[in-house]
Amino acid sequence: MSTLTITGLSALEILDSRGRPTLSVTLTAQDGSRHVAGVPSGKSTGANEAVERRDGVADHYAGQGVEEVVATVEGEIASHLVGHGWDGIWEIDTTLCGVDGTPNLSRLGANAVVGVSMAAARAFAHASGQPLWRWLARDGVAPRLPVPHFNILNGGAHAPNQLEFQEFMVAPIGAPDLPSAVRAGADVYAALRALLVEDGLDTGLGDEGGFAPDVDVETALRMLTKAIDRAGYEAGRRGVAIALDPAATGFRGHDGRYLVGDERLSAGDLIDWYTELVEWYPIWSIEDGLAEDDWDGWATLTQRLGDRVQIMGDDIFVTNPQIITEAIERKVGNSSLIKVNQIGTVSRTLEAMAVCRDAGYTQMISHRSGETPDSFIADLAVGSGCGQLKSGAPARGERVAKYNRLLEIAAANPDLPYGLG
């Protein structure tokens, strides 16, 4: 094991992909090497996520800044970390959580903590002489190149249209290798653009780089299926499948009904509709199909569709090992989305993934809708061997940075397997 002595810690307020303030953290190690992490930021956040801290006063250009968070990294956090030798990321992360003292990192800010934790992980990888993905691989886990899930059609909180579902992703599950999968994502994205133009629909983009036309859910699914075909791929698991993130908390009314078009659906109605959609379209995964507090509905959804599609929790699980453990006990979902900033440290992220693995729950590593060019999650997806990554459309620099990092890893490591595993 390599010991890491931290000699410096600094932070900077930068902009994320939405033009909102976020921070980058730079950690300097004893050998003079510098390790930088860019902090992402979600918009459709789960109620139980670790808390992103922002300055109290909304400022003139982009909402609330993070200057106080920058000061916390350089002041309080640095005072606990700099000048000490550390034996592992667990030790640093445990110290950060202890110094924070709250269950959700709200005092220091999860954005401060996660930036330091990611930079520290990079420093440990460097000290061990390994690429980040290999250093992140834990005992008993076989690294692999994940199936990229390209979010090419955006709705919900990420787009100005009326489309209820937040994300319509294409997943080249049947591609022979990672480069072919990335090419397939780009081909389908281009085909969808052409279809939108042909139909006179808007080709403006949502927050994650997918198109944001004003269409309803079934039209979106029809267009996606057609785009897959038009691009020359087989629609379905042997070729390019569809994954949905309805992010259902976002279209649930105060009375607990789900508001879709003119309809006010119960959880049961919505589950019936999902069952039909899975029948009619090549859907392989549904994330946040019901609201985050609708645990009974989730159990029913899992019972009804869990043996046919991946039923994945995002807002409901928030990458929290305790919540995922409860979900496993209650047979809620069969898969978890994994977002590092949702739980706040690299160690707790790895713990959440281990809990999933032990229970046979699949996992998908995820970006946030507000991103930087940081490609940490690409390495995490490979090292964890989970087989799935979502990072938005195959366009826009902050999204493409992750897919391009996968391509780099693939090129340098031709023996790494590709696929769901």
Ligand X SMILES: C=C(OP(=O)(O)O)C(=O)O
Judged by CB under 5 A, which of 314, 351, 374, 379 binds Mg ion?
314
* Strand 283-287 versus strand 263-265 pairing type: unpaired
Stretch near ligand X under the rule CB under 6 A, chosen from 39-47, 58-66, 122-130, 137-145: 39-47
Dihedral over Cα of 30, 31, 32, 35: its sign: negative
Report the site for ligand X in 301-320 (rule: CB under 6 A).
Answer: 314
Q: How far is residue 372 from each of residues 85, 282, 290, measured CA to CA in Å? A: 29, 32, 29
Catalytic residues: 208, 339
Instruction: Say how far apart CA 264 and CA 262 lie, in whole Å.
Output: 7
**Among 363, 324, 317, 361, CA closest to 342:** 317
Q: Residue 366 binds which entry of ligand X, Mg ion, none, with Cβ cut-offs from 5 to 8 Å by kind?
A: ligand X
Q: Say whether 293 counts as a known binding-site residue.
A: no
Q: Say whether 366 counts as a known binding-site residue.
A: yes
Stretch near ligand X under the rule CB under 6 A, chosen from 70-78, 83-91, 173-181, 361-369: 361-369
Burial of 385 (0-12, 13-18, 19+ CB in 10 A): buried
Report the site for ligand X in 53-92 (rule: CB under 6 A).
Answer: none
Nearer to Mg ion, 239 or 246 (CB): 246
Does the protein bind ligand X through residue 366 (CB under 6 A)? yes
* Strand 85-86 versus strand 4-15 pairing type: antiparallel
Judged by CB under 6 A, which of 17, 22, 24, 44 binds ligand X?
44
Minimum distance from residue 245 beta carbon to ligand X (Å): 5
Q: Residue 45 binds which entry of Mg ion, ligand X, none, with Cβ cut-offs from 5 to 8 Å by kind?
A: ligand X
Count residues binding ligand X (CB under 6 A).
10
Q: How far is residue 329 from each of residues 65, 174, 323, 397, measured CA to CA in Å? A: 40, 32, 10, 40
**Among 304, 369, 354, 389, CA closest to 22:** 369
Residue ranges that bind Mg ion, judged by CB under 5 A: 245, 314
**Which parts are annotated binding residues for Mg(2+)?**
245, 287, 314
Query: What residues make contact with ligand X under the rule CB under 6 A?
Result: 42-45, 245, 247, 314, 366, 368-369
